[in-house]
């Protein structure tokens, strides 16, 4: 995959990680369509990146998730890459978490990704790349974050199955499972206070590895638990 000229949709471009990815993609010559929930912040990212198109999107609306991929393909003249970098967090003991909070976590972090994936598979051709940011907690669930860990683990398992299904079609699926980063997600949690968390991993390092994984057609970006380094495979 050559990023220069690659027709790319970034979902969650108003977030810290999604915005950093959009800016780096734009700097490497990718043609961009962006989504975000906040119109003002989305406009700022469009200005920073020179994106061709932008759409307000609430990932809770699964019908809109499917539509926005089609809109991006229409406005860019096709799609080569779809990057999904949205998400929400909630904290607290599993037995205390409100049902509505658990449902929102799964709706945004899992069902929204599924809807976006269905849309992406309709638009991506041979050699195309679907890149989804899940979390290291998909592999290493954490006490005090049971429902969040479950939403990420479910999404990661879904992506593994999708990768196997589309193998013959030549579509690549990259599951990005980074360690904790200081993206502000903790401060915007829908419920609870976070447990003690490690120091945030460098966001630029995650983005650099993620874009390299897109270029190489990698399957996974994971963290070495012993050294904390990122590994593409």
Q: What is the percent of the chain where pLDDT is above 70?
A: 100
Confidence of residue 157 (pLDDT cuts 50, 70, 90): very high
Domain boundaries, the chain: 7-232
Tokens coding 6: 């690659």
pTM score, whole prediction: 0.97
Q: What is the mean pLDDT of residues 74-78?
A: 98
In the numeric block, the tokens 């990718």 are attached to: 30
**Residues 209-225 pLDDT 10s:** 999 999 999 999 999 97
CA angle 72–76–78, rounded 5-degree value: 85
Confidence of residue 228 (pLDDT cuts 50, 70, 90): confident
Query: 156: closest CA among 136, 181, 129, 128?
Result: 136
**Cα–Cα distance between 32 and 28 in angstroms, integer?**
11
Of the candidate CATH numbers 3.50.50.60, 3.40.47.10, 2.30.110.10, 3.40.50.720, the domain formed by 7-232 belongs to: 3.40.50.720
Sign of the CA dihedral 209, 210, 216, 218?
positive
Check: CB of residue 8 under 8 Å from CB of residue 25. Answer: yes
**Residues 36-68 pLDDT 10s:** 999 999 999 999 999 999 999 999 999 999 999
How distant, in Å, are the alpha carbons of 46, 110, 204 from that of 72?
14, 21, 26
**Residues 96-109 pLDDT 10s:** 999 999 999 999 99
Q: What is the pLDDT of the chain when averaged over all its residues?
A: 96
Q: What is the mean pLDDT of residues 182-207?
A: 93
Q: What is the percent of the chain where pLDDT is above 90?
A: 95
How distant, in Å, are the alpha carbons of 107, 114, 170 from that of 154?
11, 10, 24
What's the gap between Cα 172 and its chain centre?
Answer: 15
Residue 227 pLDDT more than 80?
A: no
Query: DSSP secondary-structure letter at 121?
Result: H
């Amino acid at each position: 995959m050559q990023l220069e000229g690659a027709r790319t949709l970034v979902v969650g471009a108003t977030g810290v990680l999604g915005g950093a990815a959009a800016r780096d993609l734009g700097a490497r010559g990718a043609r961009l369509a962006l989504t975000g929930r906040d119109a003002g912040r989305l406009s700022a990212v469009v200005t920073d990146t020179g994106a061709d198109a932008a759409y307000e999107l609430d990932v809770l609306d699964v019908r809109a998730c499917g539509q926005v991929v089609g809109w991006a393909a229409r406005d860019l003249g096709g799609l080569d890459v779809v990057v999904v970098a949205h998400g929400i967090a909630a904290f607290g003991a599993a037995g205390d978490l409100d049902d509505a909070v658990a449902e929102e976590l799964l709706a945004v972090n899992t069902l929204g990704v599924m809807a976006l994936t269905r849309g992406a598979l309709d638009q991506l051709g041979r050699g195309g790349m679907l890149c989804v940011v899940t979390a290291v907690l998909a592999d290493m669930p954490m006490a005090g974050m049971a429902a969040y860990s479950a939403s990420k683990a479910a999404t990661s398992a879904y992506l593994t199955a999708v990768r196997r299904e589309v193998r013959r079609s030549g579509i690549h699926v990259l599951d990005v499972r980074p360690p904790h980063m200081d993206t502000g997600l903790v401060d915007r949690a829908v419920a609870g206070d976070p447990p003690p968390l490690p120091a945030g991993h460098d966001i630029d390092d995650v983005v650099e590895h993620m874009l390299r994984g897109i270029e190489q057609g990698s399957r996974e970006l994971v963290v070495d638990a012993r050294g904390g380094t990122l590994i593409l495979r």
